[in-house]
Structure 1
Amino acid sequence: MKTYLIYFDETGDDGITTASSDHFILTSIYMPAENWQNNFDIIRKLRKDLKEQYGFHASEEMHTKHFLTDKNPYRKYNWTKEEKQEIIIAFTKMIGELNLKIINVIIDKTKIKKEDYPVLENALKYNIQRIENDCKGEWNYLIITDKGRTAPMRKTARAIRVYNPIQSQYSYGYRNQPIKNLIEDIMEKDSSESYFIQICDFISFFVHLYYSCYEKNKELPKRVANVIDKNFVGRVMATLKQTEKINLKANEKHTYGFVIYPK
């Protein structure tokens, strides 16, 4: 049986209040372990190219929100708006070359009615359910995530190995369908040491921007709007779809397969 590697990262606050963010996004990317090295080599080549063209050091973490809002450590580079756009475009095209799939789960906190709604736990559960559906019992998988939220994620992953209620297609009830193909506990790795977690971060932040301006009809944050506009965000998402990186079966009713809860 093949083994897949799954990487997770998020955008937004997983607290129940909307004070800091009105939605939370958990993004996963997954690939056969046998394709890991080739994927890594593609990313590494891009980072070397960016070092030669823009001085962007290959060991510098790509934290997309900070990159677009001109926070440290990116200020020292003094990139122009056009150069930043070129770097984002290069990242997007590079993701399109990788052998992987993407799932995005959005918890829209403006729709939450229960005060004890578990934002992070549900986002993880819905994401793993889609991965489990995709594997069809034909491969198992190992999950690696950024530091900071590992403890509740491990607890949730352990729980759904035993009890994972799925709404029945043939009735209004639920049936228990425990997760079978996840191996080991969820593991953590610092995002600064993982190109793949940084790719999750990149995708997750653009999903956040897309959801905000296309589906919630909000303006882009001012500091982001200094670099890119709504159409640019749309083109990034369109490229990820056209290169068939997004698992559209995660939610066939959504243009980009976004899994959005609560319904």
Structure 2
Amino acid sequence: MNTRIVYCDETGDDGQNTSSSNTFILTSVSMPTESWQSNYDLIKNFRKQLKSEYGFHVSEEMHTKQFLTDKNPYRSYKWTPDQKIEILKKYTLAISSMDISVINVIIDKTKIKTPDYSVLENALTYNIQRIENDSKGDWNFIIITDKGRISPMRKTARAIRAYNPIQSQFGGYINKPIKYLLEDIMEKDSKESYFIQICDFISFFVHLYYKTRYRHENLPNRVGKLIDNEFVGSVLATFNEGQILNTKASSTKYGLVIYPK
């Protein structure tokens, strides 16, 4: 049986409080093990290109929110707005050319009706369920995530190996335990993983897309100084054209998985 490597990262606060963020997005990027090296070489060479063209250090973490809001260390590069937009476009195209499959789970915290709703645990469960469905028993997978939430994520993954209720088309629920997830979820510092940084990039743009297209809200002020709604839409459209989005994950546009229903 073949194996896929899955990387995860998130945008937003996983608490129910909506004051800091009213959504939580968990993005997974998976790839066959045989594609890992070619994907790595692609993104490493791309980062070398950014170093050559813009002085962006190869080892500098790409943290999308901070990049868009002109916070350090990115402010110290003194890029013009046009240069920053060029970097975003090239990053989007590089990601879109990789052999990866992306699932985005959005928890809209404004729709939560019960005080015991676990944002992170539900987002992870929905993401793993769709990775498992995509496998169809043809491959298994391991998950690597950024540091910070490893304990509840491991607990959730262990739990759904034993009990994973799925709504039946005949009414009620059936137990369909996760079978193809190998080992506990592992963690790696995003500073040392281009792939986790890619998850962060996709996740933040999905956050912006949902905010503007579904919730009909304005872009955050500092983000809106650099890009507009059309640019956000073009990033998602480019991902879709590159066929990296798992559109089977949901019937919504771009396969966005949105809960609560």
TM range (shorter): over 0.9
> 5+ unaligned residues in a row in structure 1: which ranges?
none
Which amino acid is 2:49 matched to? D
Superposition pairs for residues 63-102 of structure 1, below 5 Å?
A: 63-102=63-102
Please name the residue that 1:47 is paired with: 47
- Once the two structures are superposed, residues 85-108 of structure 1 have per-residue CA deviations (whole angstroms, 9 ceiling, x without a partner) of 000000100011100000000000
Q: What root-mean-square deviation, in Å, do the aligned CA atoms of Structure 1 and Structure 2 show?
A: 0.5
- % identical aligned pairs: 65
2:113 partner SS:
coil
* Offset of residue 48 of structure 1: 0.3
Please name the residue that 1:129 is paired with: 129
Please name the residue that 1:9 is paired with: 9
Please name the residue that 1:254 is paired with: 252
Paired with 1:97 and 1:212, the residues of 2 have a C-alpha distance of 26
1:34 partner SS:
helix
Superposition pairs for residues 169-208 of structure 1, below 5 Å?
A: 169=169, 171-208=170-207
Please name the residue that 1:35 is paired with: 35
Instruction: Tell me the TM-score normalized by structure 1.
Output: 0.99
After TM superposition, where is structure 1 displaced by more than 2 Å over at least 4 residues in a row? none
Instruction: Tell me the TM-score normalized by structure 2.
Output: 0.99
Number of aligned residues? 261
Please name the residue that 2:120 is paired with: 120
* Offset of residue 23 of structure 1: 0.6
Superposition pairs for residues 52-63 of structure 1, below 5 Å?
A: 52-63=52-63
Paired with 1:260 and 1:250, the residues of 2 have a C-alpha distance of 10
Paired with 1:3 and 1:196, the residues of 2 have a C-alpha distance of 17
Please name the residue that 2:209 is paired with: 210
> 5+ unaligned residues in a row in structure 2: which ranges?
none
* Offset of residue 141 of structure 1: 0.4
Paired with 2:55 and 2:242, the residues of 1 have a C-alpha distance of 28
Which amino acid is 2:178 matched to? I
Which amino acid is 2:260 matched to? P
